[in-house]
C-alpha cells in the first residue's frame, strides 16, 4: 500500500497533453473564478457562455462560496474530520482542505478527479497542513469502486469512521449513459452512519432557454450537461437527513457575512441547487 505522505511521489510524472486547443469546463470555471489556468479556446467558450447566461461568473463564484460554507459547517458544526471531494477541479484557494484544516488541522482530505489537467496542478497545490493529511487520486466518478478501492484513499481515510462526501458541480457533467443516482447511492453505501453528502447541481427551473443554449455549446465541444429540477435534485438525498435549510439555490444555503453581494441576488439569479445531508 502507498503510504499517505508518499502520494505525490507515487503519481506518474509522464507528460500530460492538456489539449489547450479546445475549451475545457474546468478551465472555463477557473476563468470565471478569476484564475489564470486558461487558454484562448477557454476564453472563447467563456464568452459564448456569458452571451447566453450573463451571470455565469456570478454562478461560479456562488458555487465556490457554497463549497466553503458547507465545508465549514461540516468541520465546525457536524464535527467531520474526513472528506472525500470528487470532481475537484483546478485548485483555487481557499481549497476544501484549507477551509477544513483551518478549523481542524488534523482533518484528512482526499481529492479525486479523472482529468489530467487537474492532476497537473494538484501535484503542486493540494498540500496538507502538517497535522493532517491530503491526497489526490486520479479516478473517475463514473466508476465509484475505482475511487473507493484506491490504495491512496484507503491510506488516508478510515471508511469505518464518518466521511463527508462532496460532489460540487460535478454530477451534471456525467455522460448520459451513467446513472448519477446509482453512483451517489453506491458511494454512500460504503460510508458509515454519521457521514454526510454535500452537493450542488445545475437546474433549468429558472432560465431553461439559457441553460439549454449553454448545454448545447458544451455538447458541441464534447461535454455533456444535464440540468435537473429541484425535485430531481432532491432525489440524491433520499434516505438522508437534510441539514437546514434543506435544498436551496446555493446563495440561500446558510449565507454568512463572508458572502459579499449574495443578499443582492434574487432567488432565481443562480440556477444551481445545493444542500447537505447526514446518513442516519
**Quick one: fold of 25-255+268-279?**
Rossmann fold (3.40.50)
Q: How does residue 52 score in pLDDT terms, banded at 50, 70 and 90?
A: confident
pLDDT of res. 152: 93
Least confident of 94-108, 110-124, 130-144, 179-193: 110-124
Q: What is the pLDDT of residues 257-270, one digit of tens each?
A: 776 667 889 888 99
Q: How does residue 124 score in pLDDT terms, banded at 50, 70 and 90?
A: low
> What distances in angstroms separate CA 10 from CA 6, 21, 143, 151, 267, one per listed residue?
6, 29, 21, 11, 46
Cell of residue 122, nine digits: 494538484
Question: Are 86 and 166 spatial neighbours (Cβ–Cβ below 8 Å)?
Answer: yes
Instruction: For the chain, give every domain's residue range.
Output: 25-255+268-279
Q: What percent of the chain has pLDDT over 90?
A: 61
pLDDT average, residue stretch 98-113: 96
Amino acid at each position: 500500500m502507498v503510504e499517505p505522505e508518499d502520494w505525490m511521489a507515487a503519481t506518474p510524472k509522464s507528460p500530460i497533453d492538456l489539449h489547450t486547443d479546445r475549451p475545457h469546463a474546468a478551465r472555463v470555471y477557473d476563468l470565471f473564478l478569476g484564475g489564470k489556468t486558461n487558454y484562448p479556446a477557454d476564453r472563447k467558450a467563456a464568452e459564448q457562455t456569458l452571451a447566453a447566461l450573463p451571470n455565469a461568473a456570478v454562478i461560479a463564484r456562488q458555487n465556490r462560496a457554497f463549497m466553503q460554507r458547507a465545508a465549514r459547517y461540516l468541520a465546525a458544526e457536524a464535527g467531520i474530520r474526513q472528506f472525500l471531494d470528487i470532481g475537484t477541479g483546478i485548485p483555487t484557494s481557499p481549497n476544501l482542505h484549507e477551509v477544513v484544516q483551518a478549523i481542524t488541522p488534523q482533518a484528512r482530505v482526499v481529492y479525486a478527479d479523472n482529468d489530467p489537467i487537474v492532476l497537473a496542478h494538484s501535484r503542486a497545490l493540494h498540500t496538507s497542513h502538517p497535522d493532517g493529511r491530503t491526497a489526490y487520486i486520479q479516478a473517475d466518478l463514473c466508476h465509484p469502486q475505482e475511487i473507493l478501492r484506491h490504495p491512496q484513499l484507503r491510506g488516508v481515510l478510515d471508511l469505518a469512521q464518518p466521511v463527508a462526501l462532496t460532489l460540487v458541480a460535478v454530477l451534471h457533467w456525467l455522460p448520459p449513459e451513467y446513472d448519477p443516482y446509482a453512483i451517489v447511492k453506491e458511494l454512500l453505501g460504503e460510508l458509515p452512519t454519521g457521514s454526510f453528502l454535500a452537493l450542488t447541481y445545475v437546474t433549468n427551473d429558472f432560465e431553461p432557454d439559457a441553460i439549454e443554449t449553454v448545454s448545447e455549446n458544451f455538447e458541441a465541444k464534447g461535454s455533456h450537461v444535464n440540468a435537473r429540477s429541484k425535485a430531481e435534485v432532491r432525489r440524491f438525498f433520499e434516505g438522508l437527513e437534510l441539514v437546514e435549510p434543506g435544498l436551496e439555490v446555493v446563495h440561500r444555503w446558510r449565507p454568512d457575512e463572508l458572502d459579499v453581494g449574495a443578499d443582492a441576488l434574487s432567488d432565481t439569479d443562480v440556477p444551481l441547487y445545493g444542500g447537505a445531508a447526514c446518513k442516519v
